[in-house]
Chain A
Amino acid sequence: DAKTTQPNSMESNEEEPVHLPCNHSTISGTDYIHWYRQLPSQGPEYVIHGLTSNVNNRMASLAIAEDRKSSTLILHRATLRDAAVYYCILRPVPGSARQLTFGSGTQLTVLP
């Protein structure tokens, strides 16, 4: 199964941008890259996903390397409410025996 590698933890100052990296060197050509986050005492929450092109939504931006072996989740202005565990996940195509497999994630701490 394709796996993702993320730093265990990162810190950011409030109102500054945060770049959360993810390596996925064994990604399949049809795997989507998904990001979820889990705030304390809550279920995971979808953040963003992409296939090849960079993506933006109201929560974040996703920058995908040209070879797709890495990606970066960008929070443009971190707030205290963004403190969470961020998971980078490869989502295979339907019919694949592989499913949404969470990696170990990055614990983001936002400092006031």
Chain B
Amino acid sequence: QVTLKESGPGILQPSQTLSLTCSFSGFSLSTSGICVSWIRQPSGKGLEWLATICWEDSKGYNPSLKNRLTISKDTSNNQAFLKITSVDTADTAIYYCARMGQLYYFDYWGQGVMVTVSS
């Protein structure tokens, strides 16, 4: 059974660095063809793909966030991470992690974690 769960700080202040963790089970990020992605959704708005990391450590980022993103993984502990530097109120959103397979679809999603950026 595949599950993913996001965790984060809940609230942080503008200019701080947001650190998110995706803890998963039922699959390994060392398995060929497997990736984990981060997607976010501001309240009442649509979905935005942020970043993806794959089994062989290849990474992809959404350039709209202008080099503020860093994705990484800990294969041994079944975790993936996302850091977003210099946050501001526009980064307030629900952040999801999702598994991505060889055909690049998100087949399993976490429940999402709400992150609020506020002074």
Do A and B come from the same complex? no
